[in-house]
A and B are shown apart, each in its own frame.
Chain A
Amino acid sequence: MSVTLAGILQLSLLIAVLAAVHRPFGDYMARVYSSDEHLRGERVLYKLIGADPNAEQRWTVYLRSVLGFSMFSLLGLYALQRFQDHLPFDLGMKPITPDQAFNTAASFTANTNWQSYSGETAMGHTVQMVGLTVQNFVSAAVGMAVAIALVRGFVRVRSGEIGNFWVDLIRGSIRILLPIAIIGTIVLVASGTIQNLSDPHTVQTLSGGTQTIPGGPVASQEVIKELGTNGGGFFNANSAHPFENPNAFTNLFEIFLILVIPFSMPRAFGRLVGNLKQGYAILAAMFVIWFAAVCLMWWTEAHGNGAGPELAGGAMEGKEQRFGIPGSSVFAVSTTMTSTGAVNSFHSSFTGLGGGITMLGMMLGEITPGGVGSGLYGILIMAILAVFVAGLMVGRTPEYLGKKIGAGEMKLVAMYILVVPATILTFTGIAIALPGEQAAILNSDSPHGISEVLYAFTSGANNNGSAFAGLGANTEFYNTMIGLAMLIGRFVPIALVLALAGRLAEQKSVPDTAGTLQTHKPLFVGQLVGVILIITGLTFFPALALGPLAEGLA
Chain B
Amino acid sequence: MTDTAIRPTDEHVDTPTGSGRVSAGLFEPRQLLKSLPGALRKLDPRIMVHTPVMFVVEIGSVITTVMAIKDPSTFAWLVAVWLWLTVVFANLAEAVAEGRGKAQADTLRKAKTDTVARRLVDGREERVAATELAIGDLVVCEAGDVIPGDGDVVDGVASVDESAITGESAPVIRESGGDRSAVTGGTKVLSDRIVVKITTEPGKTFIDRMIALVEGAARQKTPNEIALDILLASLTIIFLFAVVTLQPMAMYAHAEQSMIILVALLVCLIPTTIGALLSAIGIAGMDRLVQRNVLAMSGRAVEAAGDVSTLLLDKTGTITLGNRQASEFVPVDGVEEAELADAAQLSSLADETPEGRSIVVLAKERYGLRERHQGELAHAEWIAFTAQTRMSGVDLSDERGVRMVRKGAASAINAWVSERGGNVPARSGELVDAISAAGGTPLLVAVEDTEGARILGVIHLKDVVKEGMRERFDELRRMGIRTVMITGDNPLTAKAIADEAGVDDFLAEATPEDKLALIKREQAGGKLVAMTGDGTNDAPALAQADVGVAMNTGTSAAKEAGNMVDLDSNPTKLIEIVGIGKQLLITRGALTTFSIANDVAKYFAIIPAMFASIKGAEALGPLDKLNIMQLATPESAIISAVVFNALIIVALIPLALRGVRYRPMSADKLLARNLRIYGLGGLIAPFVGIKIIDLLVSLIPGIG
- In the complex, per-residue mask of B190-233: 1 if CB is within 8 Å of any chain A CB, else 0: 00000000000000000000000000000000011011101101
B527 to chain A, nearest CB (A): 6
Q: Does B388 contact A (CB under 8 A)?
A: no
Residues of the B chain whose Cβ atoms lie less than 8 Å from the Cβ of A396: 306-307, 582, 585, 667
- In the complex, per-residue mask of B568-602: 1 if CB is within 8 Å of any chain A CB, else 0: 00000000000001110110111011001101100
Contact of B592 among A389, A513, A538, A550 (CB under 8 A): A389
**Nearest A-chain residue to B597, judged by Cβ:** A534
Q: Does B367 contact A (CB under 8 A)?
A: no
Q: Cβ of B668 and Cβ of A523 under 8 Å apart?
A: yes
Residues of the B chain whose Cβ atoms lie less than 8 Å from the Cβ of A540: 242
Residues of the B chain whose Cβ atoms lie less than 8 Å from the Cβ of A426: 241, 245
A155 to chain B, nearest CB (A): 14
Residues of the B chain whose Cβ atoms lie less than 8 Å from the Cβ of A410: 227-228, 230-231
Q: Cβ of A553 and Cβ of B667 under 8 Å apart?
A: no
* A515-B227 CB under 8 A given contacts A397-B303, A418-B234, A543-B245: no
B507 to chain A, nearest CB (A): 19
B308 to chain A, nearest CB (A): 9
* A392-B585 CB under 8 A given contacts A422-B241, A546-B611: yes
Residues of the B chain whose Cβ atoms lie less than 8 Å from the Cβ of A433: 248, 251-252
Q: Does A449 contact B (CB under 8 A)?
A: yes
Residues of the A chain whose Cβ atoms lie less than 8 Å from the Cβ of B597: 534
Q: Does A338 contact B (CB under 8 A)?
A: no
Q: Cβ of B600 and Cβ of A550 under 8 Å apart?
A: no
Q: Does B135 contact A (CB under 8 A)?
A: no
Q: Does B622 contact A (CB under 8 A)?
A: yes
**Nearest B-chain residue to A429, judged by Cβ:** B245
Q: Cβ of B668 and Cβ of A542 under 8 Å apart?
A: no
* A553-B248 CB under 8 A given contacts A392-B588, A541-B603, A541-B607: no
Q: How far is the CA of A171 from the CA of B422 in the complex (A)?
A: 90
Q: Cβ of A515 and Cβ of B479 under 8 Å apart?
A: yes
B483 to chain A, nearest CB (A): 12
Q: Cβ of B248 and Cβ of A509 under 8 Å apart?
A: no
Q: Cβ of B230 and Cβ of A395 under 8 Å apart?
A: no
Most buried by A among B224, B237, B597: B224
Q: How far is the CA of A438 from the CA of B600 in the complex (A)?
A: 32
B369 to chain A, nearest CB (A): 48
Q: How far is the CA of A391 from the CA of B478 in the complex (A)?
A: 17
Q: How far is the CA of A56 from the CA of B253 in the complex (A)?
A: 54
**Nearest B-chain residue to A541, judged by Cβ:** B603
Q: Cβ of A516 and Cβ of B667 under 8 Å apart?
A: yes
Q: How far is the CA of A388 from the CA of B600 in the complex (A)?
A: 20
Q: Does B25 contact A (CB under 8 A)?
A: no
Q: Does B91 contact A (CB under 8 A)?
A: no
Q: How far is the CA of A551 from the CA of B253 in the complex (A)?
A: 12
Residues of the B chain whose Cβ atoms lie less than 8 Å from the Cβ of A394: 586, 589, 667, 670-671, 674
Q: Does A18 contact B (CB under 8 A)?
A: no
**Nearest A-chain residue to B668, judged by Cβ:** A518
Q: Does B492 contact A (CB under 8 A)?
A: no
A529 to chain B, nearest CB (A): 12
Q: Does B269 contact A (CB under 8 A)?
A: yes
Q: How far is the CA of A428 from the CA of B241 in the complex (A)?
A: 11
B564 to chain A, nearest CB (A): 17
**CB < 8 Å A-B pair total:** 230
Q: How far is the CA of A521 from the CA of B593 in the complex (A)?
A: 19
* A450-B253 CB under 8 A given contacts A396-B582, A513-B480, A550-B611: yes
B546 to chain A, nearest CB (A): 11
Residues of the B chain whose Cβ atoms lie less than 8 Å from the Cβ of A409: 227
Interface residues of A in 505-537 (CB under 8 A from B): 508-511, 513-518, 521, 523-524, 527, 530, 534-535, 537
* A411-B238 CB under 8 A given contacts A510-B526, A516-B667: no
A351 to chain B, nearest CB (A): 13
Q: How far is the CA of A511 from the CA of B525 in the complex (A)?
A: 7
Q: Does A183 contact B (CB under 8 A)?
A: no
Q: Does B309 contact A (CB under 8 A)?
A: yes
Q: Does B481 contact A (CB under 8 A)?
A: yes
Q: How far is the CA of A508 from the CA of B253 in the complex (A)?
A: 53
- In the complex, per-residue mask of B263-288: 1 if CB is within 8 Å of any chain A CB, else 0: 00100010000000000000000000
Q: How far is the CA of A515 from the CA of B305 in the complex (A)?
A: 13
Q: Does B239 contact A (CB under 8 A)?
A: yes
Contact of B607 among A397, A527, A530, A542 (CB under 8 A): A542
Q: Does A276 contact B (CB under 8 A)?
A: no
Q: Cβ of A389 and Cβ of B589 under 8 Å apart?
A: yes
Q: Does A180 contact B (CB under 8 A)?
A: no
Contact of B667 among A413, A418, A515, A527 (CB under 8 A): A515
Q: Does B678 contact A (CB under 8 A)?
A: yes
Q: Does A406 contact B (CB under 8 A)?
A: yes
Q: Cβ of B227 and Cβ of A417 under 8 Å apart?
A: no
A426 to chain B, nearest CB (A): 6
Q: Cβ of B527 and Cβ of A429 under 8 Å apart?
A: no
Most buried by A among B223, B526, B581, B611: B526
**Nearest B-chain residue to A447, judged by Cβ:** B619
Q: Cβ of B245 and Cβ of A545 under 8 Å apart?
A: no
* A418-B237 CB under 8 A given contacts A395-B306, A406-B227: yes
Q: Does B357 contact A (CB under 8 A)?
A: no
Q: How far is the CA of A425 from the CA of B244 in the complex (A)?
A: 9
Contact of A395 among B243, B244, B477, B586 (CB under 8 A): B586
A179 to chain B, nearest CB (A): 40
**Nearest A-chain residue to B672, judged by Cβ:** A523
Q: Does B128 contact A (CB under 8 A)?
A: no
Q: Cβ of B626 and Cβ of A446 under 8 Å apart?
A: no
* A514-B479 CB under 8 A given contacts A394-B586, A538-B599: yes
* A432-B586 CB under 8 A given contacts A395-B670, A523-B671, A545-B611: no
A206 to chain B, nearest CB (A): 42
- In the complex, per-residue mask of A425-448: 1 if CB is within 8 Å of any chain B CB, else 0: 110111011000010000001110
Residues of the A chain whose Cβ atoms lie less than 8 Å from the Cβ of B672: 523
B486 to chain A, nearest CB (A): 20
Q: How far is the CA of A191 from the CA of B430 in the complex (A)?
A: 92
Q: Does B186 contact A (CB under 8 A)?
A: no
Q: Cβ of A389 and Cβ of B526 under 8 Å apart?
A: no
Contact of B234 among A414, A447, A515 (CB under 8 A): A414
- In the complex, per-residue mask of B608-621: 1 if CB is within 8 Å of any chain A CB, else 0: 00010000000111
Q: Does A316 contact B (CB under 8 A)?
A: no
Q: How far is the CA of A527 from the CA of B620 in the complex (A)?
A: 33
Q: Cβ of B668 and Cβ of A421 under 8 Å apart?
A: no
Q: Cβ of B599 and Cβ of A511 under 8 Å apart?
A: no
Q: Would you list 30 pairs from A and B whose C-beta atoms are within 8 A, ordered by A residue? A: A388-B228, A390-B675, A392-B228, A392-B586, A392-B589, A394-B674, A395-B306, A395-B662, A397-B307, A397-B585, A405-B227, A418-B238, A426-B241, A433-B248, A433-B251, A447-B253, A508-B526, A513-B480, A523-B671, A535-B596, A538-B242, A538-B603, A542-B242, A542-B249, A542-B265, A543-B246, A545-B611, A552-B622, A554-B619, A554-B621
Q: List 4 additional A-B contacts (Cβ < 8 Å) besides A429-B247, A523-B675.
A: A393-B675, A395-B586, A397-B303, A414-B231
Sorted nearest first, the 5 A-B pairs with minimum C-beta distance are A392-B589, A515-B480, A395-B582, A513-B480, A414-B234
